Amino acid sequence: MPPLLHQVFRPVPFCTYYRMAEIADTRLARLQPRAGFKLAAVWTYLGVLPFFVFIIAFLIFPATNLFAGAFQDAKGNFTLVNIQGLFSPYILKAYRTSLEVSLITSLSGGVLGFFVAYAITMGAAPRWVRSMLLTFSGLAANFGGVPLAFAFIATMGRTGFVTAILKSICYSAADASKVCPLDPYEAGFSLYSTVGLAVTYTYFQFPLMVLVITPAIEGLKREWREAAENLGASAWQYWWHIGFPVLLPSILGATLLLFGSAFGAYATAQALTGGSILLVTIVIGQQIRGDVLGDTNLGYALAFGMVVVMAVCIALYTVLDRRTSRWLRR
C-alpha cells in the first residue's frame, strides 16, 4: 500500500527537505561538468600542451636519454658496468674534490652568511646597513661565472690588487728581506688551487645564505627570548636551548642549497683554473669535448651520478624548508 501524502510529509520537518534539496543540488552541480567531460577537459588541457611539449623535448627527454646511456654499453645493451666504473680511482677523486669544495664553501658561506644575517636582524645594525647588505646580497648571490673568476684573478691573483698591497707592505720596509711573510703566494696560498676556488665560491655562497636565512631569523619570536630572559636565561642559554634548535632545520636546509649550488658550478672553476682542478663538472666538460674517459657511456654515468647528488640535496632542502615554513607562517 503506497504511503499517503501526509504520511510522507508530516513526520519530517521542513528544513530537512530544504537540506535534501541542497544536497541534491550540489550533487547535480558536481555531476554537471562530468556530463561535458570529454570535450571541455581536452580543450582545457590543450592550453598547457606547448609548455609540456617544450619541457619534455628539451629537458626531460635529453636528460633521460643521457641517464639511459648510463645503463647501456656501447652496443646499447643494459649494463651496470658504467655505474661500477664510477668507483674507479680517477672518478672517485673527481667526486671527492667536488664534494670537498662544495662542503668547504657551503660551511664557510653558511657560517659567514648566518652571522651577517644575525647582525642585520637581531644585532643592532642600523636600517641603512641592513638594506644595503640585503641589496648587495641579492646582487652578489646572482653573480658568478667567468666575470667572478676575472674579479678574483685581478684581486688575489699573482699580480692582483690585494696581493700587490700585501707585498708592498713588506718590500717597502727598510730591511727589505727576500722572504715576505705577508705575500700570500710565499705563504703557500694560490688562487688556482682548491682553497682559491673555495675563496672565490664564497663570494656568491654567503650572500645566498644571507638571503635564505634572514627570514628564518626574523621568524624567531621576541616573546621566546623575553620568556627565556624572565626565567633567568643568559643569552648563551637562550641560543643553545631555544634559538639554535628552532633554526636548525633552516640552517641545514640553507647549507644544502649552498652545497648544491657549488656542486653544479662549472664556469667559475673553468675560467679560474683552466680546468686544472678536476671537479666532476670539469671532467664532464672534458668528456663532451673529447672522449677523455675512454668510454662515452661512463661519461653519461658521471652525469647521472651528479644529478643524483643534486636531487638528494634539493629534496632534503625542500623537506627542511617545509618544516620551517610551518612555524614561520605563524
Partner 1 sequence: MTKSRFNPWTWLWVTVATLYFFVPLWGTFDFSLRMKRGAITFLAYQKVFADPKFLQSFRYSATMGVITVIVSIMLFVPTTYWIHLKLPRLRPVVELLTLLPFIIPVIVLVFGLIRTFSRPPFRMTQTEFTTDILITAGYVILSMPFMFRAVDVGMRAIDVRTLTEAAQSLGAGWLRVLLSVILPNLRVAILSGSLITFATVVGELILADFLVRPALGPYMVVVGGGKAYEPAALGILSFGLTWICLGIIQLVSRGDVRLQPIGR
Give least dist CB 185 to partner 1, A: 16
- Residue among 157 and 249 whose Cβ is closer to partner 1: 157
Instruction: Compute the distance between CA of residue 279 and CA of residue 272 in angstroms, rounded to an integer.
Output: 13
Name the β-bridge partners of 72: 78
For residues 82 and 76, is the Cβ–Cβ distance under 8 A? Answer: no
Instruction: Compute the distance between CA of residue 211 and CA of residue 34 in angstroms, rounded to an integer.
Output: 46
Give least dist CB 248 to partner 1, A: 20
- Residue among 50 and 232 whose Cβ is closer to partner 1: 50
Q: Which three cell numbers stand for residue 156?
A: 688575489
Instruction: Compute the distance between CA of residue 196 and CA of residue 203 in angstroms, rounded to an integer.
Output: 11
- Residue among 16 and 168 whose Cβ is closer to partner 1: 168
**Residue of 233, 215, 216, 213 whose CA lies nearest to 224:** 233
- Residue among 16 and 318 whose Cβ is closer to partner 1: 318
Q: Which three cell numbers stand for residue 254?
A: 640553507
Give least dist CB 301 to partner 1, A: 12
Give least dist CB 131 to partner 1, A: 9
Instruction: Compute the distance between CA of residue 86 and CA of residue 65 in angstroms, rounded to an integer.
Output: 19
Give least dist CB 111 to partner 1, A: 10
**Residue of 115, 133, 112, 130 whose CA lies nearest to 258:** 112
Give least dist CB 39 to partner 1, A: 14
- Residue among 246 and 314 whose Cβ is closer to partner 1: 314
- Residue among 180 and 303 whose Cβ is closer to partner 1: 303
| Residue at grid coordinates 674517459 | 293
Could you tell me where the DSSP H helices lie in 122-173? 127-140, 145-156, 161-171
